[in-house]
Amino acid sequence: MAGGRRGRRHFGLSGLLAIVALAAAASGLASARAAPSGEAAFAHVQHLAGVIGPRPAGTASDRQAADYLALQLRQYGYLSGMHAFQFPFFEARRVEVAQQIPVARTLPSAAMVYSAPTGPAGVEGDLVPVGLGRPGDYAGRQVEGAIALIERGEITFFQKVETAASRGALAAVIYDNQPQGITAGTLTQRSRIPAVAISRDEGTRLQEAAKAGRVRLRLLVDTHFETRSSSNVVATKRGTSRPDEIVVVGAHYDSVPGSPGANDNASGVAAVLEAARVVAGTGTPRTVQFVLFSGEELGLFGSAAYASEHRAGVVAMVNLDMVGWGARLMIGNSPGRDETAVNVALRVAEELGIPVTRLRLAASDHASFERVGVPSVLLHRGIDPYYHGPTDVPSVVDPRNLEEAARLVVGLVLHPAFPTAVVDRGLIGMPVPELPVFAKKPLVARVR
């Protein structure tokens, strides 16, 4: 931070006031440490993922979840409301992948979200493995009139499918790079060719068969597109000292079709609700908006709509996504974006005794706010083995992880130095502590 040298000029009244402010903040953080309850947060996970179940945006269960969240916030004393938005709804009605050569068999599969349909007759072609599906991976490989077999990872699903389409492929089959099953990720927009997902085991089996000889597949994909509406759930707590400056704390409550979405992302929602409960009767320096988003799984539609329409006055955004499973909490933002709020969040985590790791990740709702210039922070615990599958159930989530995430959120919204650097609070003369040095600063790639 740039405040270290400036801080040596003089101490004075502003420095004395800063000491008082930081002492009060430290006292407030200490008292808030035990306030959030992991079990209370876990009860929300059980209801969202265990009672309501899968919550794709634009469906009846999506609306049921929104009503539940609004009710919880009202019970905490907030005036909650709905922010409606429209988005391109997608539904996969029928997906079939059949191997015809060298042996006839059916492969378990799922349509990638926003996959183009094949038409009633389906498509048939020889299979051509193209590695990760990057442009350079097609060198020496002829995929025109064929079906591209692509491994998940490194670039987005849409980039993989679009590259295959530009090379003349009839369809794309994407196999997972993790053993959790089938990950039917989102392309974020409609593709030019059909795209389906299969498991890592099936993909490896196909690749080995293709090395040994000819492999021929037939795909039938029936997908439906229409414009639908969904809603973000919003509750506001007015700040005491800087009410015109807004900190958005959010998490997405929708899930992919067929997945109960316990860790992705009832866990983040539960931690946000628990933080909102804890601070309901406590003054926060800045105004806090608790916003629970829908449409994240389809392409960040809810957060994009909210950020574009309500960015005035927003000085920071805190996003919680998949915080219920994993060994260590990670804090970060998108690569190349403003890191001011992240750096302060790292310091607050250190004050609270919460061990964290730095990460860079763009594929969640904080990216919508970064795109409109709002410094943002993501709280995340990595990809779990149940990601986007039917086994993402409440038992996957550890209540202790929810409590830890909620503690950090409470610490952030109560801290006078968040989201701006300490020097921006006029703390002249106060040395800025060095950020903890982590052994690893991983680039966590959540390729959708």
Q: What pLDDT does 444 receive?
A: 28
Cα separation, 357 vs 328, whole angstroms: 7
Cα separation, 129 vs 290, whole angstroms: 45
Q: What pLDDT does 437 receive?
A: 27
Tens digit of pLDDT at every position of the chain (448 positions): 222 322 323 323 333 233 334 334 444 443 434 489 999 999 999 999 999 999 999 999 999 999 999 999 999 999 999 999 999 999 899 999 999 999 999 999 999 999 999 999 999 999 999 999 999 999 999 999 999 999 999 899 999 999 999 999 999 999 998 877 787 788 888 999 999 999 999 999 999 999 999 999 999 999 999 999 999 999 999 999 999 999 999 999 999 988 999 999 999 999 999 999 999 999 999 999 999 999 999 889 999 999 999 999 999 999 999 999 999 999 999 999 999 999 999 999 999 999 999 998 888 999 999 999 999 999 999 989 888 889 999 999 999 999 999 999 999 999 887 876 433 333 222 232 222 222 222 222 232 3
Q: What pLDDT does 387 receive?
A: 87
Strand partners for 318: 249, 377
Residue-wise pLDDT for 28-76, tens only, equals 443 434 489 999 999 999 999 999 999 999 999 999 999 999 999 999 9
Q: What pLDDT does 361 receive?
A: 86
Q: What pLDDT does 182 receive?
A: 81
How many Cβ atoms are within 10 Å of 308's Cβ, its own excluded?
13
Q: What pLDDT does 166 receive?
A: 97
Q: What pLDDT does 308 receive?
A: 95
3-state secondary structure the chain: CCHHHHCCCCCHHHHHHHHHHHHHHHHHHHHHCCCCCHHHHHHHHHHHHHHHCCCCCCCHHHHHHHHHHHHHHHHCCCCEEEEEEEEEEEEEEEEEEEEEECCCEEECCEECECCCCCCCCCEEEEEEECCCCCHHHHCCCCCCCCEEEEECECECHHHHHHHHHHCCCCEEEEECCCCCCCCCCECCCCCCCCEEEECHHHHHHHHHHHHHCCCEEEEEEEEEEEEEEEEEEEEEECCCCEEEEEEEEEEECCCCCCCCCHHHHHHHHHHHHHHHHHHCCCCCCEEEEEEEECCHHHHCHHHHHHHHHCCCCEEEEEEECCCCCCCCEEEEECCCCCCHHHHHHHHHHHHHCCCEEEEECCCCCHHHHHCCCCCEEEEECCCCCCCCCCCCCHHHCCHHHHHHHHHHHHHHHHCCCCCCCHHHHCCCCCCCCCCCCCCCCCCCCCCC
Average pLDDT, the chain: 86
Q: What pLDDT does 214 receive?
A: 95
